[in-house]
Amino acid sequence: MRLPIIAGNWKMNTTVSEAVTLVQEMKATLEQVEGVERVLCPPFVSLSAIKELLQDSPIKLGAQNMYFEEKGAFTGEVSPRMLVDLCEYVILGHSERRQYFREDDNMINKKLKLALKSGLKPILCVGEKLEENEAGKTEDVVSHQVKAALVGIEPLKELVIAYEPIWAIGTGRAASGEQANNTIGFIRRIAAGVLGENIAAAIRIQYGGSVTAANTAEFLSQPEIDGALVGGASLKAAEFVSIVRQTAEIKK
């Protein structure tokens, strides 16, 4: 049995005080839900304040990115050594990082290795562009991204993968549950080729891309889908809590 995991990726939204308010709005209800791992990924600058708020809470924290060196002259970057005191998870290889900040497979592989070595649990994002999807290249693209990210990685069941088709992110045009389930099943088979059957059967694979309270059941009722990486809807307390609650109900 894989423990479902719902993570909120707040992206570049919320000031520190807005972030604190948002956590205060959802904390009590989110804490009541059982059987689902709940992870909030606010901007770096809010991690410390939210960590204070979540002392002794089952709600976990994640960062949205990190650099692939431990320390040094890398102005403006944040290293895993800094994050490990603040959070448990780190999102790596998000399509916005790949697209706007030119992160390539090699860089993402270095980040993944260092995250694991540093004791952070990575949420590795993969997913195809609209034109790749329309050209029937989805499996080629995600297979390449997964294999490239996992080169030289020790097989670890702490790894989480998020399948986020780029055309579904922030567009309101989510994949269908069946489409997402098929691609996630495919990703698990690719992971099995690299990490072995047992590890691949144990790692959690999320769907991400326009997940809302209204379509949660469509995705989470699928057997291969172990959770969601939620963008826009994670910035609304009641909606995020509803996604987590529905997940608990469906997967129990």
Structure tokens, 247:
């997940």
Q: Strands 204-208, 227-230: parallel, antiparallel or unpaired by DSSP? A: parallel
Of 42 and 231, which has the nearer Cβ to ligand 13P?
231
# of chain residues touching ligand 13P (CB under 6 A): 14
Rounded distance, CA 183 to CA 163, Å? 8
Site membership for ligand 13P, residue 127 (CB under 6 A): no
DSSP per-residue letters across 68-87:
SSSSSS-TT---HHHHTTT-
CA neighbor of 153 nearest in space, from 207, 208, 105, 224: 105
x/- track of binding to ligand 13P for residues 85-124 (CB under 6 A): ---------x------------------------------
x/- track of binding to ligand 13P for residues 156-185 (CB under 6 A): --------x----xx---------------
Q: How far is the CB of 200 from ligand 13P (least distance, A)?
A: 22
Q: How far is the CB of 185 from ligand 13P (least distance, A)?
A: 21
Structure tokens, 16:
């520190």
Tell me if 62 sits within 8 A of 39, measured CB to CB: yes
Catalytic positions are 94, 164
Binding site for ligand 13P (CB under 6 A): 9, 94, 164, 169-170, 208-211, 229-233
